Amino acid sequence: MEKNNRRKILNLIIWGWAGVTSIPFLSTVFRFTSPPKREGPITAAVSTTEEVPPNSGKTVSLGNRPVLLITTPEGERRAFLANCTHLGCVVRYREEENDIYCACHHSVFDIEGKNMSGPAPRPLPQLPIEIENDNIVVTVS
Amino acid sequence: MIQKYFKNWCGERLPLDTIRNHFKNKFVPRHRHTIWYYLGGLTVFFFVIQLLTGVLLMIYYKPTMEGAHQSVVYIINEVPFGWLIRSIHSWAANLMIATLLLHLMSVFYLQAYRPPRELMWMSGFILLFLILGFGFTGYLLPWDDIAFYATQIGTEVPKSIPLVGPTLVALLRGGEDIGEATITRMYTLHVFVLPIATLLFVGIHLFLSQYYGASKPITTRPKGKDIPFYPNFVLRDLRTWCIALILLIGVAILMPWGLGEEADILRPAPEGVKPEWYFIPMYQTLNILPARILIFDGETILNSVLMIGGFVVFLLPFLDRKAKQRERNKFILTAGTLVILYCIVITVSAYI
């Protein structure tokens, strides 16, 4: 009986020790594999106004993210994060339809970025845009 | 003389007689469904081919954004027989998944998961996920357009899982977007983590299959004497593997696996982008589902259905009480058939 108790205590100590040491081990592995958080807002000149004439779109990279610049037929300029809000495929501007389209699951957004049809659940995030000396300056948060 | 000495030397140190006796007393049932027994072995055969060709490809492959596509181009165009090794690797991956799915279906229809083989079913189910994991992680490695978008979509889907979704996606991608970190992570999973886990579960699965032997179907009558496992069934397995190898090399030569344009994270998604055939049911379902159903996103609904469905299938041996009593469970068989038919129809619809 006493021997059994000793074994039970020994088992408890071994499993307890294994449990306690596995927590910092797993936590270290998790923290090691977790990617660093993205840095704060990035503002940069991403294109010239000439490169995006009326009724056209251009995809540029800002902070390693695709950004869609469009100029409406009326000449208004807008910038959106170019990842479709459905599953993240890069969208494009369609001149003939005057809309933004994702070929992966055929989602369509209007030129305000609002989801019009297809499975995209939300509008495209619009980004602040400024024109400085014929350069298009965009901020990604 | 040397052979005899070596045999005796090993016999004195290893339990060879016990192993020999085990195989001598092992028989495989002979009936009209015996053919399905070859599928498990065939899947292991393709897995071995994957290990061998994978190691060869690792010699030249570079898991970086600049080097991945170029190194695959180099393997195809410059390395002697590189195109063949890569083609065999890609074809064998698809054939392995095909034989694995057929094996799973045969076990399901023959209700071979019934007690005492619950652990075989469960280890096999985990293997299915590991093998699909190989397909998913390996798909990005050539870093071409289709690979990029398939991974983009595939890694985006778990995002809608409550609480853990975004963390899981960040862990898979190595950041918020697909890039260099994603390639290295997929590569690590593909060549190290998944092979180790798969070898472990293949070992468990094979041990259990030797321990329990082949399951006899509930309603099928035996057709003559059982087949001795060694050497008769082993030789039949070898014959199947030889035929599979000839077919594999044939398709790899006649239809070499292609490579698309190098991925560009700024290029809009091309028309008709599709993942590999075994992920099409999920991909097409996402296409059909509306953006929102009541208060939930379409992806959240799909994730929930997949998780609950996967859990039910994993626990099938415990849920099917009729199979335990050696009875056909019409409800489970009909439900399984409907799921399989849905997957087939939706996959075919994606290609026409």
Segment A49-94, tens digit of pLDDT: 999 999 999 999 888 889 999 999 999 999 999 999 988 899 999 9
Average pLDDT over residues B171-192: 93
Which residue of chain B comes nearest to A83, CA vs CA? B268
Amino acid B142: pLDDT: 96
Set of chain B residues whose Cβ sits within 8 Å of the Cβ of A59:
266-268
**Residues constituting chain A:** 141
Handedness of CA B316, B132, B123, B299 (dihedral sign): negative
Residue of B155, B169, B172, B176 to mutate when probing chain A, most A C-beta within 10 A: B176
Average pLDDT over residues B308-318: 95
CB B133 within 8 A of CB B194: yes
Q: Which of A114, A91, A61, A119 is nearest to B285 (CA)?
A: A119
pLDDT confidence band for B268 (50 / 70 / 90) = confident
Q: Which CATH number goes with the domain that contains B121?
A: 1.20.810.10
What is the C-alpha to C-alpha distance for residues B54 and B195, in angstroms, rounded to an integer? 11
CA distance B48 to chain A (A): 29
pLDDT confidence band for A18 (50 / 70 / 90) = very high
What is the C-alpha to C-alpha distance for residues A19 and B315, in angstroms, rounded to an integer? 27
Which residue of chain B comes nearest to A116, CA vs CA? B291
Sorted by sequence, the CB contacts under 8 Å of residue B197 that are 6+ apart come out as B130
* pTM for the model: 0.89
Could you say which of B179, B266, B273 has the minimum Cβ distance to residue A103? B273
Amino acid B119: pLDDT: 96
Set of chain B residues whose Cβ sits within 8 Å of the Cβ of A60:
266
DSSP state, residue A114: -
Contact B269 A104 (CB under 8 A): yes
Average pLDDT over residues B238-247: 96
Could you say which of B153, B170, B175 has the minimum Cβ distance to residue A89? B153
Same domain, A12 and A80: no
pLDDT confidence band for B102 (50 / 70 / 90) = very high
Which residue of chain A comes nearest to B180, CA vs CA? A64
Q: Count each helix (H run) and each strand (E run) in chain A, helices first.
A: 1, 11
Domain that holds residue A14: 1-34
Average pLDDT over residues B119-127: 97
| DSSP H or E stretch at residue B203 | helix B194-212
Residue of B145, B152, B171 to mutate when probing chain A, most A C-beta within 10 A: B152
CB-based contact, A121 to chain B, within 8 Å: yes
Same domain, A115 and A79: yes
CB B86 within 8 A of CB B47: no
Average pLDDT over residues B279-288: 87
Set of chain B residues whose Cβ sits within 8 Å of the Cβ of A105:
286-287
B291 vs B124, residue with greater confidence: B124
* Assigned domain for B235 exists: yes
Set of chain A residues whose Cβ sits within 8 Å of the Cβ of B270:
103
Amino acid B52: pLDDT: 97
Same domain, A29 and A73: no
CB B104 within 8 A of CB B128: yes
Same domain, A18 and A75: no
- Looking at the structure of chain B, the number of domains it has is 1
CB B250 within 8 A of CB B64: no
Amino acid B85: pLDDT: 97
Long-range contacts formed by B59-68: CB under 8 A, 24+ apart = B61/B141, B61/B187, B63/B141, B63/B183, B63/B184, B63/B187, B64/B180, B64/B183, B64/B184, B65/B143, B65/B179, B65/B180, B65/B183, B68/B141, B68/B142, B68/B143, B68/B183
Average pLDDT over residues B304-332: 91
Average pLDDT, chain A: 90
What is the C-alpha to C-alpha distance for residues A65 and B303, in angstroms, rounded to an integer? 26
* Assigned domain for B315 exists: no
Same domain, A65 and A128: yes
Contact B156 A87 (CB under 8 A): yes
Strands (E), chain B: 27-28, 227-228, 292-293, 296-297
CA distance B302 to chain A (A): 13
CB-based contact, A104 to chain B, within 8 Å: yes
Amino acid A113: pLDDT: 93
Is the pLDDT at B274 greater than 70? The verdict is yes
CB-based contact, A94 to chain B, within 8 Å: no
CA distance B7 to chain A (A): 42
Is the pLDDT at A2 greater than 70? The verdict is no
CA distance A98 to chain B (A): 16
* Assigned domain for B47 exists: yes
Amino acid A1: pLDDT: 57
Domain that holds residue B142: 26-268
State how far Cα B151 lies from the chain centre: 18
* Beta bridge pairs of residue A140: A42
Percentage of chain A beyond pLDDT 70 is 98
Is the pLDDT at B350 greater than 60? The verdict is yes
CA distance A114 to chain B (A): 13
Same domain, A61 and A13: no
Contact A121 B292 (CB under 8 A): yes
* Listed range (B143-152, B228-237, B292-301, B306-315) with the worst mean pLDDT: B292-301
Same domain, A69 and A86: yes
CB B332 within 8 A of CB B320: yes
* Assigned domain for B150 exists: yes
Q: DSSP string of B157-180? A: GGGGSTTTHHHHHHHHHTSSS-SH
- Looking at the structure of chain A, the number of domains it has is 2
Same domain, A47 and A29: no
CA B248 → CA B2, B102, B128, B241, B244, distances in Å? Answer: 37, 17, 21, 10, 6
Could you say which of B174, B179, B287 has the minimum Cβ distance to residue A105? B287
Is the pLDDT at B330 greater than 80? The verdict is yes
Amino acid B223: pLDDT: 80
Tell me: the pLDDT tens digits for B151-177?
988 888 888 787 888 899 999 999 888
Highest mean pLDDT among B31-35, B235-239, B298-302: B235-239
Exposure letters B234-264 (e unless 16+ CB within 10 A, then b): eebbeebbeebeeebeebbeeebbebeebbe
Same domain, A20 and A46: no
Q: What's the token pair of residue B50?
A: 């994957």
* Assigned domain for B338 exists: no
Set of chain B residues whose Cβ sits within 8 Å of the Cβ of A33:
171
Could you say which of A65, A91, A104 has the minimum Cβ distance to residue B149? A104
Can you tell me which residue has the tokens 């901020």? A139
Same domain, A97 and A113: yes
Set of chain A residues whose Cβ sits within 8 Å of the Cβ of B169:
none
Amino acid A59: pLDDT: 93
Is the pLDDT at B227 greater than 70? The verdict is yes
Can you tell me which residue has the tokens 């039949």? B236
Is the pLDDT at B275 greater than 80? The verdict is yes
Q: Which CATH number goes with the domain that contains A57?
A: 2.102.10.10
Set of chain B residues whose Cβ sits within 8 Å of the Cβ of A102:
269
Which residue of chain A comes nearest to B188, CA vs CA? A33
Same domain, A55 and A109: yes
What is the C-alpha to C-alpha distance for residues B336 and B340, in angstroms, rounded to an integer? 6
Is the pLDDT at B251 greater than 70? The verdict is yes
Tell me: the pLDDT tens digits for A25-45?
999 999 999 988 777 788 989
Same domain, A9 and A46: no
Chains A–B, number of C-beta pairs less than 8 Å apart? 86
Which residue of chain B comes nearest to A105, CA vs CA? B287
